[in-house]
Structure 1
Amino acid sequence: MVKSIVLNVLSLFTLVSIGFAKNVSDVKDCPALSRRTPSISVNDLRADDIKVIGALGDSVTAGFGIMGFDKNSPDFIASQKSKLEYRGLSYSIGGDGGADTMPNFINHFQPKVFGASVGSRLAGICTADKCNESHKPRIDILNGALSGAIAMNLDGELDYLISTMKSTKRIDFENDWKMINIQIGSNDMCGACNTSYMDQVTPEKYGDYVDSVVDRIQSSIPKVIVNLLSSFDLSQLFELSAANSQYCVTRKDETGDAGCSCAANSEGLKKMKEFSKGYDQKLLKIYKKHRSNKSNSFAVAYQHCNLEFSKFSMEFFRFTTLDCFHPSLKGHTWLSKAFWNQLFLPQSRKPNRLLFNTEETIYCPTDSDRISID
């Protein structure tokens, strides 16, 4: 009897020590991680090791149009709202209080994490041949994304990130562990039919640009993990929005829907689908390249984002009413959870397809969980 009680107590102690993995609706309900000596290797990173977070990308990462477009608002208010980037709500780099974002999830485990963008601002204009839009450091912080950017523009965004990291007193540039989320590709695939720069957005060029910026991060920023986030296959999205015209505020120009030249016809949509697949193959190749070149201070992670838009509902996913192209607040909320939950899974266990779920929960990492780079 005594032996049985002792064994039960020991078993309970072991389970409590190891910790149970759990999923919650609010990250505040996740148990804190036990204190430990900060990791000295990128192969042993927990969520609480990350002290700095940054991002590179396009209008999705910049948070363009998240709050939508109210058809009943006065023209001036509606027109101003349609030009805003809600950077503090961006799923991968937003830091507004109470928002479901990856930086806020990290903040629960590491309150000193720095870099998340806050608030909102007017969107800048970045094009393939001219991307000199200036950042707003007090709002953007380490959100280097620019609306309209393609992979070719990542190098300029990285210039901003590096200079800001080095000049920010809250950042120990040499010793703090950093995570940089990169998602790019929407404007690239839309430009596949734009004769003025279509040669710059092929899968080969896309891969070269992303690979180059990842190599530059490795050589210029100490103690960092680059988190490559898969692009969206937008070809399905335009077919979905066409069937929900009552929900979308019409925003077309002579090149196609929402300024996407390839969305104007079936051949263009087919090309977008091919390019999207090609982009992800290039991202996976970059991930595998760095996986085979092990380092203690640098690594690349890759997160799938194979979305079957044809199975989504505009009302549930809530693409912004502004153009039915950019994710709304509900979309960003879901994306933050979907990508966060993948962070701790080895590549072999990451989901091949992501299905939108209004009740998506947040995974609570335990003491034994590590940010996966395998």
Structure 2
Amino acid sequence: MRALSLVLLVVHGALADVKTLGAPAYSCDANVMAPSATVPTNVNQVRFADIKVIAAMGDSLTAANGAGAIPGDPVQVILQYRGLCFHGGGQTNLSDQITIPNILRKFNPNLQGYAVGTGSENVWEKAKLNTGIPGAQSGGLLTQAETLINKMKAHSEINFKNDWKLVNLFIGGNDLCAYCDDVYHNASSPHSAEDFRDNIKAAVKMLKDNMPRTIVSVTGMFNMGMLRVVDNNQFFCDALHVFECPCEKDKGFTNEDMDAVCQLYMKREQELQDTGIFEADDFTLVIQPFFEDVHQPPMKDGKVDLSFFAPDCFHFSKFGHAVVAKNLWNTILQPVGKKARNANLSDVTPTLSCPTASCPFFPTVKNSQNCAKLWTPSILDV
């Protein structure tokens, strides 16, 4: 026990010294930050303060491997700093670290489900509803969906039937890292773009069929070609990526091949939204596509900003998670059909956006088409 306490103390001390990005001055008009006058029954009328529960699904980027690691210490990449995850962590607060949960806590201080520490997905006290598993591929999302449902039902602080829930999902890196092996060595490809789509579809269907009052926000696949840019003149990173992403080191899998597969993964994800198969009165799915045209986080001199990455140059650092969270939040607030499909990860100057007074709801396909028809008052309007 004494040794464990020492480890936790070291980890906590290390986090205090790791580069980060907060938003201490973030505030919006009181009316758009207020909950609805009555709890909405329609998913297209959910204000951000109406969201009571947040969850995150994905791989090691959701588990936030290495996010709090001391620069230059790749051993710490095995640690899962879930509380720092861009879409599922709330270990600190918005003044210290931008994450989606930390922003939402400005709207609803009683938000439930965000991760608060370092540990695996099965440690409730740390992970909460962050079910990300290192090494996970899209084929494992169905199990994560089942886990989320069971966890929510098991904890009395969550009103499973009546609470509005936001489930953030980010997956695909490990699928792509296995893709070239399928192409070059197998007759069929379990990591094809179609299988990728169908795996996500199965998991979201599980949520739709069993989790009422839910918004699923999918952060679109990002272009893994960024790793090859990072590896340029970085021998240590280059060597590590042989094990973390074999496809990235496969010379037969060209930059054009990688870009084409990433784009196809993105296109298949987009189909899940555009077909409308997950539209219901109390459920929806929205794609956040800002990673579509991101290749690297460059600095002014054109070199890659390695402070964006954990020591393995693959996972996001605490700073990287904050930068991604800022871009994700601002994309979430954009209407469906007008969302950014690129991001400048080296520019941290843009401020966090606020919901608009004319449409203060979580942007969905339907309220992006005609928000006036769906408008309902906040508690400050009555």
TM-score band w.r.t. shorter chain? 0.7 to 0.9
**Residue identity matched to 1:54:** A
Number of equivalences: 328
The aligned residue for residue 107 of structure 1 is 105
Hey, what's the Cα distance between the residues in 2 that align with 1:79 and 1:242?
15
Hey, what's the Cα distance between the residues in 1 that align with 2:272 and 2:322?
27
| SS state at 2:98 partner | coil
> Which is further off, 356-365 or 199-208?
356-365
The aligned residue for residue 364 of structure 1 is 354
**Residue identity matched to 1:233:** N
How far did 1:56 drift?
0.8
Q: Does residue 1:334 correspond to 2:323, yes or no?
A: yes
Q: Does residue 1:309 correspond to 2:295, yes or no?
A: yes
TM-score, with structure 2 as normaliser: 0.79
The aligned residue for residue 118 of structure 1 is 116
The aligned residue for residue 287 of structure 1 is 273
> Which is further off, 356-365 or 41-50?
356-365
| SS state at 2:116 partner | coil
**Residue identity matched to 2:90:** G
Matches within 5 A, 1:114-193: 114-121=112-119, 135-193=122-180
Matches within 5 A, 1:82-97: 82-97=77-92
**Residue identity matched to 2:363:** S
The aligned residue for residue 10 of structure 2 is none
**Residue identity matched to 1:169:** S
**Residue identity matched to 1:224:** T
Hey, what's the Cα distance between the residues in 2 that align with 1:309 and 1:79?
23
Asked if 1 retains the 8 angstrom alpha-carbon contact of 2:215 and 2:285, the reply is yes
The aligned residue for residue 262 of structure 1 is 247
Hey, what's the Cα distance between the residues in 1 that align with 2:223 and 2:167?
22
Hey, what's the Cα distance between the residues in 2 that align with 1:263 and 1:80?
21
**Residue identity matched to 2:148:** L
How far did 1:333 drift?
0.5
Q: Does residue 1:275 correspond to 2:261, yes or no?
A: yes
RMSD: 2.3
Q: 1:207 to 1:34 in 2, by over 3 A?
A: closer
Q: Which has the larger radius of gyration?
A: 1
Hey, what's the Cα distance between the residues in 2 that align with 1:42 and 1:217?
14
Asked if 1 retains the 8 angstrom alpha-carbon contact of 2:288 and 2:328, the reply is yes
How far did 1:311 drift?
6.3
Identity of aligned residues (%): 26
How far did 1:244 drift?
4.4
Q: Does residue 1:63 correspond to 2:64, yes or no?
A: yes
**Residue identity matched to 1:102:** I
Hey, what's the Cα distance between the residues in 2 that align with 1:318 and 1:206?
30
Structure 2 residue ranges without an equivalent (≥5) = 1-21, 366-382
Q: Cα deviations across residues 70-99 of structure 1 (Å, max 9, x unaligned)?
A: 44xxxxxx4652311110010000011222
Asked if 2 retains the 8 angstrom alpha-carbon contact of 1:58 and 1:148, the reply is yes
Q: Aligned match of 2:197 in 200, 204, 207? A: 207
| SS state at 1:180 partner | strand
Hey, what's the Cα distance between the residues in 2 that align with 1:234 and 1:62?
18
